[in-house]
């Protein structure tokens, strides 16, 4: 029953897998967790996930991509860590903001309750109020699923992560042994003489155990598979069975990780420990589409230029993945050529000339916009298949207004408040907005698609629902002039322009929304499939 003070109900939920990491960040806890979930889903279970981010930000919306990679947007408008994008892609599910727990969100809720007098004069403390709120959020996100996988961001020993690990310790006390599992991911480096070293793993597990948590499964991240004697040594010093130590070696593509850990037997071990083995589908009846998809033979490769201002793949992770999904759909490998928008007139121009297609992704701020506009112009004038996403869509409008409509100094008021031709302007509902976090047009919105257009062919429908993240839009005062000069706004949401295309071009498409956020392996995003189809010659 919920407690009077914290609204925490320890009876909610079914099976829980907690994934922690040690030694260093960026080891691949999220991919390990997502791969485990993919295999359990293949076995017939309803799997969901929770990502815990110990930072004080309420959400990831105001973070610099250099620190945390892209900001991933959920259907309900939640701005979250990119790991939730991996969960959606691997599990093929739509998550909500409730599946992301941050310190900022938790403390804000508890403090608001304290200010409202909900704690009846009690002293509000980390234990039980913060830890109970953490547990409540996990259980509520897990409700209705067979298995919930919870990834704890950061590494064991981080001071900001301590309340979460304490909440997990309490969680373990409240659950039967067969309902909870702790997986710990650590680094297994090589020494200079080529020996796999277990000491970092031993120290990481020691740190975890000092908090009161004993891992049930250890996953060693290494260049290669763990050698048998390495597994035995880890098992001996970390107090787990040898068959509970698994390898997660480097692979050419993250979508192959489920295959590697499946071959290691991770899924079967997890199901046995959670008393799910008898409920699982027989191996012959399990979903095999993932393995077939990621191991299929390709018939060629294409080069796609990605024109952005962050020289970091994680800053455009969903775009990279959507291109990869389109490649799987078309049976080709996609090579992404990074083009620095700020240096495009120098050594990066040749990458545009080498590329078979061009993508200008989303972003904020004036830095790099001149280069992006020049990239759009190059694609338009040289008949290079082009896809513009959010800001890329707006860059296409600005380039067209300047160079086709003759609107000198046409611009967005985001970059030039005094532009004589504000073809891109702030959303009306943003006029009085002062807070930066969570105030944009966010989440899933429906777009009506004009019949007989390329967009209608791409989506095979007269509407689509895609996710948004923007403050600015096409200024309605310029729509007639733009369209009379040759742009077709083939997708609209009321008086908001959502999709543009050019008829006299092999493929020139822009979307105000972010279609990359709904792209999945085996269910690639239509605008990305259209881009590769045009690169490969379409029906010609």
Is residue 175 a known part of a binding site?
Answer: no
Is residue 198 a known part of a binding site?
Answer: yes
Ranges of H-type helices in 14-68: 29-42, 65-68
Q: Which two tokens stand for residue 322?
A: 């959507």
Ranges of H-type helices in 162-239: 162-174, 199-210, 228-238
**Residue 247's beta-bridge partner residues?**
220
Is residue 201 a known part of a binding site?
Answer: yes
Is residue 202 a known part of a binding site?
Answer: yes
**Residue 443's beta-bridge partner residues?**
468
Is residue 158 a known part of a binding site?
Answer: yes
Is residue 114 a known part of a binding site?
Answer: no
Cα separation, 169 vs 191, in Å, equals 34
Is residue 126 a known part of a binding site?
Answer: no
Is residue 151 a known part of a binding site?
Answer: yes
Is residue 372 a known part of a binding site?
Answer: no
Is residue 83 a known part of a binding site?
Answer: yes
Query: Residue 227 is inside which H or E element, if any?
Result: none
Is residue 17 a known part of a binding site?
Answer: no
Of 14, 266, 279, 251, the closest CA to residue 149 belongs to 14
Is residue 537 a known part of a binding site?
Answer: no
Q: How many CB atoms lie within 10 A of CB 267?
A: 23
Q: How many CB atoms lie within 10 A of CB 435?
A: 7
Q: What is the dihedral of CA 424, 429, 430, 431, to 10 degrees?
A: 90
Is residue 392 a known part of a binding site?
Answer: yes
Query: Residue 38 is inside which H or E element, if any?
Result: helix 29-42
Is residue 274 a known part of a binding site?
Answer: no
Is residue 418 a known part of a binding site?
Answer: no
Q: How many CB atoms lie within 10 A of CB 234?
A: 23
Is residue 414 a known part of a binding site?
Answer: yes
| SS (HEC) of 444-498 | EEEEEECCCCHHHHHHCCCEEEEEEEECEEECHHHHHHHHHCCEEEEEEECCEEE
Catalytic status, residue 390: yes
Which residue among 79, 264, 501, 516 is the active-site one? 516
Is residue 31 a known part of a binding site?
Answer: yes
Is residue 206 a known part of a binding site?
Answer: no
What ranges make up the beta strands (E) of 127-264? 147-152, 180-187, 217-222, 245-249
Is residue 6 a known part of a binding site?
Answer: no
Count helices and strands (H / E) in the chain. 18, 21
- At a CB cut-off of 8 Å and minimum separation 6, what does 387 contact? 357, 358, 359, 360, 507, 509, 510, 511, 527, 528, 530, 531
Is residue 412 a known part of a binding site?
Answer: no
**CA diameter of the chain:** 75
Q: How many CA atoms lie within 13 A of 233 on its CB side?
A: 15
Is residue 363 a known part of a binding site?
Answer: yes
Of 337, 332, 435, 416, the closest CA to residue 373 belongs to 416
Which residue among 148, 390, 405, 464 is the active-site one? 390
Is residue 160 a known part of a binding site?
Answer: yes
Q: How many CB atoms lie within 10 A of CB 17?
A: 24
Residue positions forming the annotated binding site for Mg(2+):
83, 151
Residue positions forming the annotated binding site for ATP:
26-31, 83, 251
Residue positions forming the annotated binding site for CTP:
25, 158-160, 197-202, 233
Residue positions forming the annotated binding site:
25-31, 66, 83, 151, 158-160, 197-202, 233, 251, 363, 391-394, 414, 471
Active site residues: 390, 514, 516
Residue positions forming the annotated binding site for UTP:
25, 197-202, 233
């Amino acid at each position: 029953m919920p407690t009077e003070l914290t609204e925490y109900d320890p009876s909610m939920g079914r099976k829980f897998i907690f994934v922690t990491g040690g030694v260093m960040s960026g080891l691949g806890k999220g991919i390990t967790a997502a791969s485990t979930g993919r295999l359990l889903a293949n076995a017939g279970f309803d799997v969901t996930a929770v990502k815990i981010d110990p930072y004080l930000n309420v959400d990831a919306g105001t973070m610099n991509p250099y620190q945390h990679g892209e900001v991933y947007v959920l259907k309900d408008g939640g701005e979250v860590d990119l790991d939730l994008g991996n969960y959606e892609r691997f599990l093929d599910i739509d998550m909500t903001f409730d599946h992301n727990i941050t310190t900022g969100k938790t403390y804000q809720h508890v403090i608001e309750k304290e200010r409202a007098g909900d704690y009846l004069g009690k002293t509000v403390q980390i234990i039980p109020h913060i830890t109970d709120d953490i547990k409540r959020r996990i259980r509520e996100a897990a409700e209705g699923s067979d298995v919930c996988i919870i990834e704890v961001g950061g590494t064991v020993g981080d001071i900001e992560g301590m309340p979460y690990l304490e909440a997990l310790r309490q969680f373990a006390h409240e659950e039967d042994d067969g309902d909870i599992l702790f997986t710990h991911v650590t680094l297994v480096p090589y020494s200079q003489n080529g020996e796999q070293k277990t000491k970092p793993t031993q120290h990481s597990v020691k740190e975890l155990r000092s908090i009161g948590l004993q891992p049930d499964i250890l996953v060693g991240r290494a260049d290669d598979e763990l050698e048998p004697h390495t597994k035995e040594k880890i098992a001996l010093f970390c107090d787990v069975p040898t068959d509970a130590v698994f390898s997660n070696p480097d692979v050419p593509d993250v979508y192959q990780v489920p295959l590697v850990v499946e071959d290691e037997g991770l899924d079967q071990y997890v199901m046995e420990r959670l008393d799910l083995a008898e409920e699982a589908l027989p191996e012959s009846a399990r979903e095999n589409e993932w393995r077939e998809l990621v191991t299929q033979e390709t018939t060629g490769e294409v080069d796609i230029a990605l024109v952005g201002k962050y020289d970091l793949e994680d800053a455009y992770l969903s775009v990279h993945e959507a291109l990869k999904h389109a490649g799987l759909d078309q049976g080709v490998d996609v090579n992404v050529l990074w083009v620095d928008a700020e240096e495009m007139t120098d050594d990066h121009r040749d990458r545009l000339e080498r590329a078979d297609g061009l993508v200008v992704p989303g972003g904020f701020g004036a830095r790099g916009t001149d280069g992006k506009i020049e990239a759009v112009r190059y694609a338009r004038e040289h008949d290079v298949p082009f896809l513009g996403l959010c800001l890329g869509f707006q860059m296409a409008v600005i380039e067209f207004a300047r160079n086709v409509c003759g609107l000198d100094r046409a611009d967005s008021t985001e970059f030039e408040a005094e532009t004589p031709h504000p073809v891109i302007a702030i959303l009306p509902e943003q006029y009085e907005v002062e807070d930066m976090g969570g105030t944009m047009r966010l989440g899933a919105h429906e777009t009506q698609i004009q019949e007989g257009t390329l967009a209608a062919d791409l989506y095979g429908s007269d509407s689509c629902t895609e996710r948004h993240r923007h403050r600015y839009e096409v200024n309605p005062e310029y729509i007639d002039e733009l369209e009379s000069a040759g742009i077709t706004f083939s997708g609209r949401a009321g008086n908001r322009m959502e999709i543009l295309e050019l008829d006299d071009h092999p493929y020139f498409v822009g979307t105000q929304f972010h279609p990359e956020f709904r792209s999945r392996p085996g269910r690639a995003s239509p605008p990305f499939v259209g881009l590769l189809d045009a690169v490969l010659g379409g029906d010609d």
